[in-house]
């Protein structure tokens, strides 16, 4: 099969389109014939091998363990492991290609990929393969950090980074829960953010939301470019601050640990500040979260935004395009 192959950590220019063997599936896996796959910032992290800690966390110490990047796919089921019960041959599916964190290669940038049955869901019939491939990682991050129950109708929510992959889902989720939503991003993305249902938009080059005098019930912060102490000015006393975190493709965070020290500081502070969510040990599984995303897509409460598509051989260009910050919503690879 054709696949994008990464022999070493470094620039996306080192990625090459080659002929490789088809993956061999385990008993609880399905072989997916990939129709579309998507790019997100963690793909950049694993291609570059930065922050270095990801190499110790399973990506591969000296070079990537799995040579084929990409974690998000949509396609159809080509063959089934002997323990697979949830899918049949020919089913149209979408999902992440592995359990656990996105800080490793998942084999999605290829004609075929093996995927555990529990990280997949049936693709909703009302969306295309390109749209479905745009959902998994970004949709899961948005959903798991903005679960139903955290918001009530009428709550005021601010989504910082509303025009990117995760933010575009967070805006729609907050609207689906009945919140009034303010989206913050670059001026070039604000029409798109409004089209997703945002009631108000802010151009971050013109206005600092932490100094506007407005107070929110929840701040969902993707770029994390303001200190928590500044964000508190824009939070109601009983409000919640949720940090997603974005290393801006290596521009912020340390080479070794990225933004992890910042997360650990906030986690420690959450013992003293009620506005910071406590670490939860009861995170819903990917299987359950994918089922929720599927239903939200089917009912039209979520619509993936695909900015641009690239061919499989153009993965390096697609990653570069994402890092340039032009993309509104998601960047997708089509086979
Ligand atoms: N916390 C978790 O559970 C978790 C798990 C996995 C991954 N992650 C992280 O989640 C992040 C996902 O990001 P994404 O896919 O949404 O990235 P993205 O598509 O690059 O979107 C980020 C958005 O933030 C905007 N932005 C940049 N600076 C801003 C500022 N000062 N004010 C407001 N908006 C600003 C960007 O606009 P410009 O183009 O103008 O810069 C862009 O629209 C990744 O960094 C990933 O590592 C978190």
- Claim to verify: residue 24 and residue 65 sit in the same structural domain: yes
Domain count, the chain: 2
CA distance 309 to 255: 30
> Do 6 and 112 fall into the same domain?
yes
Q: Are residues 111 and 152 in the same domain?
A: no
Question: For atom 11 of ligand 1, which residue has the closest CA?
Answer: 246
Are residues 32 and 67 located together in one domain of the fold? yes
Query: Ligand 1 centroid to 320 CA: how many Å?
Result: 15
Q: Examine the domain organization and report whether 239 and 129 are in the same domain.
A: no
pLDDT confidence of residue 150: 85
Q: Quick check: is 155 in a domain? A: yes
Phi first, then psi: what are they for 296, rounded to 5°?
Answer: -65, -35
Distance 106 CA to ligand 1 centre (A): 21
Output the domain CATH number for residue 258: 3.40.50.720
Q: Are residue 57 and residue 27 in the same domain, yes or no?
A: yes
DSSP conformation letters of 81-131: -TT--S--TT-EEEEESSSS-SSS--S-SBSEEEEEGGGEEEPPTTS-HHH
> What's the pLDDT score for residue 92?
98
* Chosen domain end from 269, 299, 315: 269
| Of the residues 239, 269, 299, the one at which a domain ends | 269
Q: Are 46 and 64 in contact (CB under 8 A)?
A: yes
Pocket, ligand 1, Cβ cutoff 6 A: 40-42, 102, 138, 141, 160-161, 163-167, 184-186, 189, 204, 222-223, 225, 244-247, 325
- pLDDT attached to residue 280: 74
In-domain check, residue 325? yes
Q: Write down the pLDDT at residue 38.
A: 98
Evaluate whether 148 touches 107 at the Cβ level (below 8 Å): no
- Residue in 188, 189, 176, 102 with CA at minimum distance from that of residue 138: 102
Does one domain contain both 221 and 329?
Answer: no
The dihedral through the CA atoms of 182, 185, 187, 188 has a sign that is negative
8 and 122 part of one domain? yes
User: Is 278 within the bounds of a domain?
Assistant: no
Is 124 inside a domain boundary? yes
Residue nearest to atom 20 of ligand 1 (CA): 164
Residue 275 lies in a domain: no
CATH of the domain at 14: 3.90.180.10
Q: Whose CA is nearest to atom 1 of ligand 1?
A: 244
Q: Same domain for 237 and 172?
A: yes
Residue closest by Cα to atom 43 of ligand 1: 164
C-alpha distance across the termini of the chain, in Å: 12
Q: Which of 171, 244, 284, 322 to mutate to test the pocket of ligand 1 (most atoms within 8 A of CB)?
A: 244
Same domain, 12 and 123: yes
Residue-level pLDDT at 149: 84
**Backbone region of residue 17 per phi and psi (left: phi > 0; alpha: psi in -120 to 50; beta: other values):** beta
Same domain, 123 and 9: yes
- Residues 153, 256, single domain; the answer is yes
Q: What is the pLDDT along the chain (335 residues), one digit of tens a residue?
A: 999 999 999 999 999 999 999 999 999 999 999 999 999 999 999 999 999 999 999 999 999 999 999 999 999 999 999 999 999 999 999 999 999 989 999 999 999 999 999 999 999 999 999 999 999 999 999 999 998 888 999 999 999 999 999 999 999 999 999 999 999 999 999 999 999 999 999 999 999 999 999 999 999 999 999 999 999 999 999 999 999 999 999 999 899 999 999 999 999 999 999 999 987 767 889 999 999 999 999 999 999 999 999 999 999 999 999 999 999 999 999 99
Ligand 1 atom closest to Cα of 166? Answer: 16
Host domain of residue 71? 2-138+284-334
Q: Does 279 fall in a domain?
A: no
Claim: this prediction has a pTM higher than 0.95:
yes
């Amino acid at each position: 099969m054709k696949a994008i192959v990464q022999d070493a950590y470094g620039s996306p220019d080192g990625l090459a389109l080659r002929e490789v063997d088809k993956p061999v599936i385990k008993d609880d896996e399905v072989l997916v014939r990939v129709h579309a796959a998507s790019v997100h910032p963690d793909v950049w992290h694993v291609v570059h091998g930065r922050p270095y800690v990801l190499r110790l966390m399973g990506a591969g110490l000296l070079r990537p363990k799995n040579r084929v990047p990409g974690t998000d796919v949509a396609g159809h089921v080509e063959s089934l492991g002997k323990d697979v019960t949830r899918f049949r041959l020919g089913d149209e599916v979408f999902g992440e290609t592995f359990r656990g964190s996105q800080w490793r290669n998942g084999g999605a940038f290829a004609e075929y990929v093996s995927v555990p049955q529990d990280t997949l869901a049936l693709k909703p019939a009302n969306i295309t393969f390109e749209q479905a491939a745009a959902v998994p990682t970004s949709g899961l991050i948005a959903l798991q950090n903005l679960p139903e129950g955290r918001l009530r109708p009428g709550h005021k929510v601010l989504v910082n980074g509303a025009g990117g992959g995760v933010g575009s889902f967070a805006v729609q989720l907050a609207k689906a829960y009945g919140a009034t939503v303010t989206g913050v991003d670059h001026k070039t993305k604000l029409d798109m953010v409004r089209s997703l249902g945002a009631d108000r938009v802010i151009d971050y080059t013109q206005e600092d939301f932490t100094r506007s005098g407005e107070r929110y019930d929840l701040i969902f912060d993707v770029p994390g470019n303001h200190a928590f102490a500044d964000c508190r000015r824009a939070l109601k006393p009983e409000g919640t601050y949720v940090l997603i975190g974005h290393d801006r493709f290596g521009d912020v965070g340390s080479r070794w640990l990225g933004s992890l020290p910042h997360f650990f500081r906030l986690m420690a502070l959450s013992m003293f500040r009620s506005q910071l969510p406590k670490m939860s040990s009861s995170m819903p599984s990917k299987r359950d979260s994918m089922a929720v995303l599927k239903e939200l897509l089917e009912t039209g409460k979520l619509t993936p935004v695909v900015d641009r598509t690239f061919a499989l051989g153009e993965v390096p260009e697609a990653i570069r395009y994402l890092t340039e910050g032009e993309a509104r919503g998601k960047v997708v690879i089509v086979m």
